[in-house]
Chain A
C-alpha cells in the first residue's frame, strides 16, 4: 500500500494516468461512434419516413418517399427539400417543412399538399410553446391540427385564413391565441409557396 502511495505522489504518474484515461476514453468514443454510426443513420431515416408518412392518409402513396426528392427555393431564400408521394407512379402529393413563429420561438411543421393545392395533412414537428396551453397543436393532445385537412388557398378565402379572433375560421385556445395564429400563418404561407412553385413541383421534368 505504501509503495502505491509513493507512486501516486509522483508527478509523472499523475500526468501519465490522466493521459491514459483520456486516451482510453477517446478510443472508446471513437469505437462506439464507428460502431453505431450506420444504425443511427438508419434510425434517423426511419424517423424521417415516419414523420412524412404521418401527414398522408393511410395507403395514399406507395413509393419510397425518401428517394423522390426535389429542391425548390424556400420562403426564407434557403433551398427547401420537397418529398413527392406517388401512387403507381403518378404524383398524388408533395410534402415539405414550413415554420412559423409562436409564443416562444419557432414552430416547425411538416405538411402535405395534393396537386390541386389542398392540404392533405399537417403535423407539428418541434415547438417550444407553453405546456398545457400552446401544446394543443400537437396531434397527440388534440385533433385541432386536423382542421386544416382539405382546405386550400381559395377555401376558405384568403381573409378567412386566420383564427376566429382575427375574423378567420380556425379555433384559438383558451389562454393561447398566438400559438394557433402562428400555425395558421405558417400553413397559409406553405400553400402560397406551393402555388408559386406548383409547376415545378408536380411535373416529372423537374
Chain B
C-alpha cells in the first residue's frame, strides 16, 4: 500500500466520509451519549477499538465468505467481538469498565461498524482495512467530542467535566468551567438538543464545503 492511498483513507475517515457528518450513520449512539465531551470521547474510543478489530477480522475471511450469507456472518462476528471486549474489560480493567460499560453495549447497535465491514473490509486487504477502521473510528470520536462539547458548553458552561473518571487523575486539568455562574440552557443536554446540535453542525459543514467549492471554481475560471 503506498503513502497516497493511506493518506486518502485517513482523509476519508476524518472528513470526506466522516461517519456522523457525511455518512449520517450511527445516529443512535451519537444522539444518546453526547451530553458531554467526555462521554463522546469514551464512546468514540471504545467504538474505534471494536471497529479496527472487526475490520481486520472481516478482511481476513473475505475470500471465504459467500456474498449470500455475508450479513449474518458479519453480525455474528461483530456481536461476538463486542461481547468479548465487554467481558474482558469487566474482568480485568474494571475501573475503566465502570466508565465505559454503558457505551460498550451500545456499540452493537452502531451500524457504522457493519457498514465498514460491508462496504470496505470485505473488499480490501487487511492492512487497508485496519487503517480504514482506525481513521473512521477517530473521525467518529472527533465528531462525538465536538457535538458533546457544544452541548455541554451550551447546556452547562463546562467542557470535559468528569474527564478524570475516564482518563485518570492527570487529566483533571482538562476539566474546564468556561462560563462560571452560567445557569445553563438545559435543552442542549436533553434529547431534542442532540438533534438541534447535530443538525446545525451538519449545516455548517455543508455550507463550508460549498463555499470552498465555489471559491475553487472561481479561481479555476480566472486562471483558465
Contact = CB atoms under 8 A, between A and B. Distances in A.
Interface of A: 4, 8-9, 13-15, 17-18, 21-22, 25, 28-29, 32-33, 35-36, 39-40, 43, 46-47, 130-133, 174-175
B186 A130 contact: yes
Interface in B56-89: 63-69, 72-73, 76-77, 79-80, 83-84, 87-88
Interface stretch (B41-49, B90-98, B116-124, B212-220): B90-98
B27 to A, nearest CB: 20
A8 to B, nearest CB: 4
Contacts of B80: 25, 28-29
Given A21-B76, A21-B77, A28-B80, A132 B184 contact: yes
Contacts of B98: 47
A17 B66 contact: yes
A36 B73 contact: no
Given A43-B91, A131-B189, A175-B186, 4 more contacts: A14-B68, A18-B72, A32-B83, A36-B91
Given A131-B35, A131-B189, A39 B72 contact: no
6 contacts: A25-B80, A32-B83, A33-B87, A40-B90, A130-B190, A132-B186
A39 B91 contact: yes
Contacts of B72: 18
B189 A17 contact: no
B76 A14 contact: no
A69 B69 CA distance: 53
Nearest to B157: A132
B189 A32 contact: no
A17 B186 contact: no
B156 A32 contact: no
Contacts of B73: 17-18, 21
Contact of A17 (B64, B90, B155): B64
A29 B91 contact: no
Contact of A9 (B64, B66, B76, B183): B66
Per DSSP, chain A at the interface is helix
A39 B91 CA distance: 5
Interface size bucket, B side?
Answer: 20 to 34
A25 B76 contact: yes
B83 A29 contact: yes
B157 to A, nearest CB: 10
Contacts of B155: 131-132
Contacts of A174: 183
A174 to B, nearest CB: 8
A8 B77 contact: no
State the 3 A-B residue pairs at the shortest beta-carbon distance, nearest first: A36-B91, A39-B91, A25-B80
Contacts of B87: 32-33, 36, 40
Nearest to A38: B91
A29 B76 CA distance: 11
A132 B186 CA distance: 7
A123 to B, nearest CB: 15
A72 to B, nearest CB: 30
Nearest to A1: B63
A133 B35 CA distance: 14
Interface string B155-193: 110000000000000000000000000011010011000
B88 A8 contact: no
A195 to B, nearest CB: 35
Contact of B65 (A15, A17, A28, A46): A17
A8 B64 CA distance: 7
